[in-house]
Structure 1
């Protein structure tokens, strides 16, 4: 599990000092790969014990393990260097690798047990991904209602209960209207799943379960700049295959019992 995901999953444990440390690290990742815990404590104007506790809240042994993970992930999070086709290959590879290692059991349970399923995409590509999610799951009698616009979002909010499920697909995870909507979803205790790029983002923190794509701004030969988002569709296909496997396991258990 990557550092951004650890922060999102343990966000409720973090206090103001922890968030200050994380913000400094996010702004100075390359530097933080090499500095000592004492140097980081001095730069953040806090104690080394506070930094140790921060890393332990992320289920890490200490700052040493944190630095090792940061070094491994640095290439993923550097969005400003010139890109190559090989970089794009690596993003796809890392997304698939993360999906292979991800435990989908709880997400499959949520989909299986939901009375009503809703999916909301925050932009054009995200809407296309939402429709792809809908297309896949209809073949196993799970119908996702695609939500378009604020009026439909509010309608879902009025009728949905804790027996339903909302999936939200975003890139940055910071679209203001979606964040405010999810705050209301959380108040109503409606289960939710986010699909965003791998980052410390508000939407992921507000949702019960998170799925991530690994992407970057692509700038090849200084000519074209765009965001690599094809992983949405790979992730959704893998999610569907995991769900089919889950159904097979349930059927096998029923046969045995």
Structure 2
């Protein structure tokens, strides 16, 4: 059983603290090989016994076995150089899924019922996508507030109302800052939504609504990998168009 399979199989056993440790492991997966269990515990601000309990819940024998599982995952993250024509072919399939098969009516209705839409992107590219969504919706009179970090979120939190929606954009769905915001929002009265590339991530499990957006990773000649996120813009455009149709703007 690999790393992802274990997280899925034993998910119901995990506490909030366990999920925070897993989020750290996923974000620093290549660094764990050089760490001891004590160093991992310190990095996660937990005790070594907390790490041991998590391993037991995941049915991992010891810290060395954890390293082995994560080493396997790192190996998977080093694919051969990408064939761009294959990537384009996949995007044709994704676009078909978005425009022909994916029903966005729930999310359009959610936007219609939303008074103020709060938007956050977990990285630089996601922040550009958030800005695109803000620009489109404000052009038809929707009130949108974009914030950029945890400090701004804390400032805005007392203003949240039941008819507001907090929407966070992320690819992997494992941003520690976004996870913390979603946990804080559980004590608030507004609704929460995430847009991520898969359903198997920590952010999706914490949000009230989830919209999954397929993306592709491409490996350059220098073996650097980056995410081609064109499908996020397709989804944003489709949401905007459907929203305008539903509200009679177009």
Same fold (TM over 0.5): yes
Partner of 2:89: 90
Partner of 1:176: 176
Aligned-partner SS, 2:161:
coil
Is 1:146 the counterpart of 2:142? The answer is no
TM-score normalised by structure 1 residue count: 0.62
CA distance in 1: counterparts of 2:153 and 2:12, whole angstroms: 31
Aligned-partner SS, 1:187:
coil
CA distance in 2: counterparts of 1:79 and 1:157, whole angstroms: 40
Q: Pick closer, same or farther for the CA change 1:192–1:145 going to 2, 3 Å.
A: same
Aligned-partner SS, 1:195:
strand
CA distance in 1: counterparts of 2:78 and 2:137, whole angstroms: 33
CA distance in 1: counterparts of 2:170 and 2:78, whole angstroms: 18
Runs of 5+ unmatched residues, structure 1: 5-10, 18-43, 46-76, 252-257
Superposed displacement of residue 113, structure 1: 1.4
Partner of 2:116: 116
Q: Which moved more, 1:144-153 or 1:208-217?
A: 208-217
Q: How much is the aligned-residue C-alpha RMSD, in angstroms?
A: 3.0
CA distance in 2: counterparts of 1:79 and 1:195, whole angstroms: 25
Q: Which moved more, 1:94-103 or 1:230-239?
A: 94-103
Partner of 1:72: none
Partner of 2:65: none
Partner of 1:192: 192
Partner of 1:22: none
Runs of 5+ unmatched residues, structure 2: 15-57, 60-75
1:80 and 1:217 in contact (8 A); partners too: no
2:119 and 2:144 in contact (8 A); partners too: yes
Q: Pick closer, same or farther for the CA change 1:98–1:148 going to 2, 3 Å.
A: same
Aligned-partner SS, 1:154:
helix
Q: Pick closer, same or farther for the CA change 1:95–1:158 going to 2, 3 Å.
A: farther
Q: Pick closer, same or farther for the CA change 1:242–1:159 going to 2, 3 Å.
A: same
1:88 and 1:228 in contact (8 A); partners too: no
2:81 and 2:223 in contact (8 A); partners too: no
CA distance in 2: counterparts of 1:165 and 1:225, whole angstroms: 33
Number of aligned residue pairs: give it.
Answer: 183
Aligned-partner SS, 1:141:
coil
Partner of 2:105: 105
Aligned-partner SS, 1:152:
helix
Q: Pick closer, same or farther for the CA change 1:229–1:79 going to 2, 3 Å.
A: farther
Superposed displacement of residue 220, structure 1: 4.5
2:162 and 2:189 in contact (8 A); partners too: yes
Superposed displacement of residue 119, structure 1: 0.4
